[in-house]
Amino acid sequence: MHINLTELFSQTVKDVTIQRTLEMDQLEFGGEVYEISKPIKIEFEVTQLGEGEYLTQGKVEVELVMYCNRCMNEVITMVEGQFTRELNEHVDDSESDDMKDYYKNSVLNVEKLALDEIYMNVPMKVLCNESCQGICKVCGANLNEETCNCEDDNVDPRLAGLKDLFNERFKEV
């Protein structure tokens, strides 16, 4: 989605508020593909600072279907981001390469701006709830839904020999 900023502004209009919805089914990030449960909403204000110079401030929201890092259950995660970008047509090639991704020849790439802000705000760790117990390391049971009878000795394999030594020396009499 592209917006030509020179067409939006006249001599009297200096501020424009824009609201858009981006329809996408999925989002690929960090080698993962996330389903989008609600369309991406972006709302921002563009202020004309001078000839070919603009300031854009706004926010972006999306709901992603992610998976809990402990139990692998689906979790609907709200990802929100706020941004402020200065857009200038009169910037040298060496000054700001990232701005050219959003703004070139008076055209603002709204989709690129929104997606980059979402990528910056995707949580690194997602939990279904703070008290999630995860899955059993032995049998794979979801410990939030059921209990298992597996032995959980949590012994580091490098120290297993030391455990055996203690068992031999300190047997009950």
Quick: pLDDT tens for 67-120. Answer: 999 999 999 999 999 999 888 776 655 555 556 677 877 788 888 889 989 999
Q: Is residue 34 one of the residues assigned to a domain?
A: yes
Q: Is residue 144 one of the residues assigned to a domain?
A: no
Q: Is residue 152 one of the residues assigned to a domain?
A: no
Q: Which domain holds residue 103?
A: 2-121
Q: Is residue 168 one of the residues assigned to a domain?
A: no
- pTM higher than 0.85 for the full model? no
Quick: pLDDT tens for 123-149. Answer: 989 999 999 999 988 888 898 999 888
Q: Is residue 10 one of the residues assigned to a domain?
A: yes
CA dist., res. 147 & res. 19, Å (int): 49
Quick: pLDDT tens for 27-80. Answer: 888 888 899 999 999 999 988 887 778 888 999 999 999 999 999 999 999 999
Q: Is residue 56 one of the residues assigned to a domain?
A: yes
Q: Is residue 173 one of the residues assigned to a domain?
A: no
The total of structural domains in the chain comes to 1
The confidence score (pLDDT) of residue 173 equals 47
